């Protein structure tokens, strides 16, 4: 499971590698769905966007060659999902304009597509990285980390609930934050801080 994003893309070139496709699907399906929903697609339309994108990836991945100079997978995926959503919304506007139901047109998001895609891209990779880190540490340590770092509960509460001292909480935070940053760097193909 500890593959880099690039190696995962190389692994899914083998359409028979079910493990690689499951891992790819676990990362990218929720991301594509969130992006479509954020731009006003309903659940059925969002699933259509996801299926379209996953099918396109499946059909074109055999031609994938890792060359950062030509562009990144992230950029290609962003273009693919943006185009599909634009087409979906354009068809919806045309249908709504014909029927006169202008109230059904969703309000535009405050975020531009670039910013929204970036937020969702990072969020989904963070979620996946957290799942990977969770497998590597004790449940108590992971839960204390989540409560302290993500839920921002006071260290005193964490210590009382998990029978830890403040030094243990801070050491775990440092160690797991470092692991999380490494997982994120691996998943996104970007240098670790």
Q: Pick the closest to residue 85 from 136, 32, 123 (CA basis).
A: 32
Low-confidence residues of the chain, pLDDT below 70?
A: 1-4, 66, 68, 94-111, 190-193
Q: How far is CA 20 from CA 7, 23, 54, 123, 180, in A?
A: 10, 5, 14, 21, 21
Q: Pick the closest to residue 184 from 115, 118, 124, 116 (CA basis).
A: 124
Give the three-class secondary structure for 1: coil
Please tell me the predicted confidence (pLDDT) of residue 98. Answer: 53
Please tell me the predicted confidence (pLDDT) of residue 6. Answer: 77
SS3 per-residue string spanning 83-105: HHHHHHHHHHHHHHHHHCCHHHC
Please tell me the predicted confidence (pLDDT) of residue 97. Answer: 54
Please tell me the predicted confidence (pLDDT) of residue 88. Answer: 85
Q: Pick the closest to residue 147 from 136, 135, 159 (CA basis).
A: 159
Please tell me the predicted confidence (pLDDT) of residue 184. Answer: 87
Please tell me the predicted confidence (pLDDT) of residue 96. Answer: 55
The secondary structure of residue 149, as a DSSP letter, is I
For the chain, the distance separating the N- and C-terminal CA atoms, rounded to the nearest angstrom, is 22
Task: Tell me which residue has tokens 């992006």.
Answer: 35
């Amino acid at each position: 499971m500890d593959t880099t994003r690039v190696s995962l893309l190389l692994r899914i070139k083998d359409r028979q590698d079910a493990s690689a496709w499951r891992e790819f699907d676990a990362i990218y399906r929720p991301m594509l769905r969130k992006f479509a929903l954020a731009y006003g697609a309903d659940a059925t339309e969002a699933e259509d966007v996801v299926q379209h994108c996953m099918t396109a990836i499946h059909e074109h991945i055999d031609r994938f060659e890792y060359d950062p100079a030509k562009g990144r997978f992230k950029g290609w995926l962003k273009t693919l999902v943006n185009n599909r959503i634009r087409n979906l919304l354009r068809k919806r506007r045309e249908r709504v304009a014909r029927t006169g139901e202008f109230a059904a047109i969703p309000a535009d998001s405050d975020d531009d597509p670039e910013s929204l895609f970036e937020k969702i891209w990072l969020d989904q990779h963070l979620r996946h990285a957290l799942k990977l880190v969770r497998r590597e540490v004790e449940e108590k340590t992971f839960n204390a980390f989540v409560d302290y770092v993500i839920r921002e509960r006071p260290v005193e509460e964490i210590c009382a609930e998990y029978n830890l001292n403040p030094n243990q909480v801070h050491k775990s935070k440092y160690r797991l934050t470092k692991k999380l940053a490494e997982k994120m760097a691996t998943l996104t193909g970007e240098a670790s801080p």
